[in-house]
Structure 1
Amino acid sequence: MIVGVPRETAAGERRVALTPADAAMLSAHGLRVVVEQTAGHRADFADAAYRRAGARVLPDAAAVFAASAAVVWVKPPVYELDSMPLRDSARLFGFQDPVQRADRIERLRARGVETIAFEQISPGTSDPLSAMSRIAGEVAYAEGRALLAARGRIRSLVLGCGQAGLAAVTAAVAAGDDPPLVVGRRAERERAATGCGAAGYLANPEPRALAEVIAGLRPHLVICAAGRGGRAPVLLDRAGLGALAAGSVVVDLTAKAGGNTVATVANATVVVGDGVIVTHRSNYPSARPHAASRAYGAAAAGVLLRTLSMSVA
Structure 2
Amino acid sequence: MIVGVLRETATRERRVALTPEGVRRLRDAGIRVIVEAGAGRAAGFAEVDYRVAGAAIAADPGGVVADCDVLAWVKPTKHDLRSMDRRPGLILIGFQDPLHRSGQIDELRALGVESVAFELFSGDSGELDALSAMSRIAGSVAYLAARRLVPRTVRRPVRSLILGSGRAGLAAIAAAAACGAEPPVVLGRRDDQRRAADDQGPNIFHCAAEIGPAQVLEQIHAAKPDLVFCAAVRRGQRAPVLVDRTGLDALGDGAVVVDLTAKAGGNCSATVADATVVLDNGVVVTHRSNYPARRPAPASRAYSAAVAASILRLAADGRPW
Q: CA RMSD in A?
A: 1.5
Q: Encode CA deviations 1:121-155: one digit per residue, 9 max, x unaligned.
A: 11145311111111100100110000111133100
Paired residues of 2:212 and 2:241 also in contact (CA < 8 A): no
**Alignment correspondent of 1:20:** 20
Aligned to 1:232: 239
Distance in structure 2 (CA, Å) of the matches to 1:278 and 1:90: 40
- 8 A Cα contact 1:246 1:276, kept in partner: yes
Whether 1:182 and 2:182 are equivalent positions in the alignment is no
CA drift of 1:178 comes to: 0.8
Q: Alignment partner for residue 208 of structure 1, among 211, 214, 227?
A: 214
1:217-256 CA distances to partner (integer Å, 9 max, x unpaired)?
Answer: 1110111111122211211111122221110111111111
Return the letter of the residue paired with 1:260: N
What does the per-residue CA deviation read over 1:55-88, in whole Å, with 9 as the maximum and x for residues that have no partner? 1010011110101110010011123322422334
Q: Which residue of 2 aligns with 1:195?
A: 199
Tell me the residue number matched to 1:291. Answer: 298
2:163 to 147, 159, 164: 159
| d(CA) in 1 for partners of 2:274, 2:285 | 11
Task: Name the residue aligned to 1:221.
Answer: 227
Partner of 1:106, secondary structure, is helix
The percent identity for this pair of structures is 54
Q: Which amino acid aligns with 1:224?
A: C
Q: Structure 1 CA distance, aligned partners of 2:272 and 2:107?
A: 27
Instruction: Verify the 8 A CA contact 1:194 1:201 in the aligned structure 2.
Output: no
1:1-313 equivalent positions in 2, closer than 5 A: 1-124=1-124, 125-126=126-127, 127-150=129-152, 151=154, 152-197=156-201, 198-203=203-208, 204-227=210-233, 228-311=235-318
8 Å Cα contact 1:160-1:225 kept in structure 2: yes
Shift of 1:9: 0.6
Please give the secondary structure, in 2, of the residue aligned with 1:98: coil
- Which stretch of structure 1 is more off in the superposition, 196-205 or 290-299? 196-205
* One-letter amino acid matched to 2:185: L
Partners of 2:121 and 2:216 lie apart in 1 by 29
Cα shift at 1:184:
2.0
Q: Deviations over 1:20-46 (max 9, x none)?
A: 000000111121111000100011111
Aligned to 1:187, the other structure's residue is in SS state: coil
Question: How much has 1:307 moved relative to structure 2?
Answer: 2.8
Paired amino acid for 1:34: I
Q: Distance in 2 between matches of 1:257 and 1:9?
A: 21
Does the Cα contact within 8 Å between 1:97 and 1:257 map onto a contact in 2? no
1:73-123 per-position Cα deviation (integer Å, ceiling 9, x unaligned): 001112332242233411101111111111111111222211111111111
- For residues 175 and 51 of structure 2, the distance between their equivalents in structure 1, rounded to whole angstroms, comes to 37
> Which amino acid letter does the alignment assign opposite residue 307 of structure 1?
L
Please identify, of 238-247 and 2-11, the stretch whose mean Cα deviation from structure 2 is larger: 238-247
Would the aligned equivalents of 1:182 and 1:200 in 2 still touch at CA under 8 Å? yes
How far apart in 1 are the matches of 2:283 and 2:75? Answer: 30
Does structure 2 conserve the Cα–Cα contact (< 8 Å) formed by 1:6 and 1:64?
yes
Say whether the 8 Å CA contact 2:190–2:207 is kept in structure 1.
no
Normalising by structure 2, report the TM-score. 0.94
SS of the residue 2:12 aligns to: coil
C-alpha distance in structure 1 between counterparts of 2:247 and 2:108, whole Å: 40
User: Normalized against structure 1, the TM-score is what?
Assistant: 0.96
Q: What is the SS of the residue equivalent to 1:147?
A: coil
Q: Which runs of 5+ in 2 are unaligned?
A: none
- Unaligned ranges ≥5, structure 1: none
The one-letter code sitting in structure 2 at the alignment partner of 1:219 is P
